[in-house]
Amino acid sequence: MADFAEVADDVFVLRYPVLDVNTTLVLGDGVALIVDTLATPAQAADLVAAARRVTRMPWALVNTHHHFDHTFGNAALAGDPPCDIWAHEQTVSLLRARPEAVRREAYEEALRLAPELAPDIARAPILAPNRAVQRESTVDVGGRAVVLRHLGRGHTAGDLVVQVPDADVIVAGDLVEEGAPPSFGDAYPLEWPEAVAELLRHTTPATVVVPGHGAVVGHNFVKGQHEELAALDWLIRDGHADGAPVATVAARAPFGPDAARVAVRRGYAELSGRTQ
């Protein structure tokens, strides 16, 4: 069973082995905050047990974006009556207005990535966040200020990063990926570089950055990923201007041709004015 490991003063990260996804626990004075809630009720139960080995405090929740591996555990963690769940307004809207569309996409993705999760995803209760962030909000976690920011569209339309200033920690969600290429399925590859550039403006060389998946990283890793995203951005723009086939551009792109093909298609669609 996975456990939380302390990465900064009273900030803990659990790296869940299925899909290598991270969830973060921030402790304040008598109150805690959990960032992202995993993919199924069973995973969420593991998360609750791990959190309770660290603290007995009540908690609020944050979702960094709407994807199932970050939100489908909401109902199991929220309690009854449910605690506050914070997310960007786009995430709130999707999970509130179109939960079954989100579930269908999640089910199809699980069949590709982790088929054993598909039955639980098909029946998991979907609990939408009740606290919406437009650009920036500060949450008081037991006297500890935690800043929630939307830095622009990137991995999704509703990415949210979570900064714990007094510990110099940023939880980046899937704006930053370690150990696997970024996922472009419903991403904005022409805007993603600027969102990560903005994230870098909030870091120092010592900042601990928690990616959506994989090992905890730092400023230099994020800088390198920004450079790769920016290179992909310009390849897409140049390829579109030249009328180059998607496969030709993807073969030259960072992150490998499979991930890049999805990014190039989405970038071409945006440059052509087509709805994504």
Query: What domains are there in the chain, each with its CATH number?
Result: 4-218 (3.60.15.10)
- Using the predicted structure, report yes or no on whether residue 276 has a pLDDT greater than 60: no
Q: Tell me, what's the pLDDT at 109?
A: 95
Q: Are 61 and 77 contacting, i.e. CB atoms less than 8 angstroms apart?
A: yes
- Using the predicted structure, report yes or no on whether residue 38 has a pLDDT greater than 70: yes
The number of CA neighbours under 13 Å toward the Cβ of 132 is: 11
* Separation between Cα atoms, residue 274 and residue 13, nearest integer Å: 39
Q: Is 161 left (phi over 0), alpha (psi -120 to 50) or beta?
A: beta
- Using the predicted structure, report yes or no on whether residue 275 has a pLDDT greater than 80: no
- pTM equals 0.96
pLDDT digits (tens, 9 = 90+) for 198-208: 999 999 999 99
- Using the predicted structure, report yes or no on whether residue 178 has a pLDDT greater than 90: yes
Alpha helices in the chain (DSSP H): 41-52, 68-71, 74-78, 89-97, 99-113, 118-123, 192-201, 219-242, 246-252, 257-271
Q: Are 204 and 219 contacting, i.e. CB atoms less than 8 angstroms apart?
A: yes
25 closest CA partner among 58, 67, 72, 71: 58
Helix (H, G, I), strand (E, B), or coil: what is residue 149?
strand
- Using the predicted structure, report yes or no on whether residue 248 has a pLDDT greater than 80: yes
Helix (H) or strand (E) holding 133: strand 131-133
Region 155-160: what's the mean pLDDT? 98
pLDDT digits (tens, 9 = 90+) for 184-198: 999 999 999 999 999
Q: What is the DSSP letter of 217?
A: B
Q: How far is CA 175 from CA 129, 148, 263, in A?
A: 20, 14, 14
Give the alpha-carbon dihedral of 151, 153, 154, 158, to 10 degrees: 90
Indicate if the alpha-carbon torsion angle 53, 54, 59, 63 is positive or negative: negative
Mean pLDDT of the chain: 97
